Amino acid sequence: MVKPFFVAIDGPAGAGKSTVSQEVARRLNLQYLDTGAMYRAITWKALQLNVNLEDDNFLKKLIENTKIQIKGKQKNLIIVDGTDVTTKIRTPEINNNVSIVAKSPVVRSALVELQRKVAIDAGRIIMEGRDIGTKVLPDAHIKLFLTASLDERCRRRLKDFKDMNIKTDIQALKKELALRDKIDSERKDSPLMQAEDAFLIDTTNISFNEVVDKIVEIIENHKDFKKQDSKDE
């Protein structure tokens, strides 16, 4: 039996949570879970069906009839009803709608249940999102809140889109991120918030490697963390 060790990472869109968490997971041989991808997956399905994203009754039926699977240890593959949607859920259309779907309590409770199950099955996990330290894993061994200035987050998102060959302009992006921050922080059910016992890391002026090194150090110095190679599993 693997002794559980949970790391929770929260923060606004574009703060670098995913890339940083994946690299920390790789270095320490932890399971990684991108919970935002799960909200994106439901949004993708709702958009396919062309329905009102604010209709909670519809979302309830949708969530009951959708199978979301997460595969992969440090890079997650997201499968919805058997279809691999990993790249399909990264479009501007999903970005513009996901916070609306993520407000829904029925969607949240179903996905939180699934997220906790992934953590229990994995044992050693780094999970990132908006409410991991406050709601999903309130007893996580380590909680981190990653943030960066809005301008810096826009710059990073612009680069991601460029790498994916998706055209967007900086003003539209800034508006989208600011609106998403607002909806995610102001919703009633588990809003984006720094947990009281979370370390705050502002990544605006620090490099990717410095952020990863810092987090690896925090984890390795935790009294309950034991290093484990993949060959030990």
DSSP code string of 77-119:
EEEETTEE-TTGGGSHHHHHHHHHHTT-HHHHHHHHHHHHHHH
Q: Between 148 and 225, name the residue whose CB sits nearer to ligand DC.
A: 148
Q: Which stretch binds ligand DC (CB under 6 A): 33-41, 145-153, 199-207, 225-233?
A: 33-41
The neighbouring-strand residues paired with 7 are: 126, 142
Q: What is the CA radius of gyration of the chain?
A: 17
Using rule CB under 6 A, residue 153 touches ligand DC: no
**Residue 9 beta carbon to ligand DC: minimum distance, rounded to whole angstroms:** 10
Q: Between 129 and 198, name the residue whose CB sits nearer to ligand DC.
A: 129
Class of residue 97 by CB neighbours under 10 A (exposed 0-12, middle 13-18, buried 19+):
middle
**Residue 208 beta carbon to ligand DC: minimum distance, rounded to whole angstroms:** 17
**Residue 228 beta carbon to ligand DC: minimum distance, rounded to whole angstroms:** 26
**Residue 23 beta carbon to ligand DC: minimum distance, rounded to whole angstroms:** 16
Window 102 to 131, contacts with ligand DC (CB under 6 A) = 102, 129-131
Judge contact between 140 and 7, C-beta under 8 A.
yes
Q: Between 98 and 142, name the residue whose CB sits nearer to ligand DC.
A: 98
What's 124's DSSP letter?
A: E
Q: Between 114 and 206, name the residue whose CB sits nearer to ligand DC.
A: 114
**How many CA atoms lie less than 13 Å away from 90 in the CB half-sphere?**
19
Percent composition of the chain: helix, strand, coil (DSSP 3-state, to 5): 50, 15, 35
For the chain, the farthest-separated pair of C-alpha atoms sits apart, in whole angstroms, at 50
Q: How many residues at the interface with ligand DC, by CB under 6 A?
A: 14
- Among 150, 136, 148, CA closest to 195: 136
**Residue 158 beta carbon to ligand DC: minimum distance, rounded to whole angstroms:** 15
Residue type present at position 201: I
**Residue 39 beta carbon to ligand DC: minimum distance, rounded to whole angstroms:** 4
How many C-beta atoms lie closer than 10 Å to residue 102's C-beta? 27
**Residue 90 beta carbon to ligand DC: minimum distance, rounded to whole angstroms:** 8
Using rule CB under 6 A, residue 180 touches ligand DC: yes
Q: Between 13 and 144, name the residue whose CB sits nearer to ligand DC.
A: 13
Using rule CB under 6 A, residue 36 touches ligand DC: yes
Using rule CB under 6 A, residue 23 touches ligand DC: no
Residues that bind ligand DC (CB under 6 A): 13, 35-36, 39-40, 98-99, 102, 129-132, 180, 184
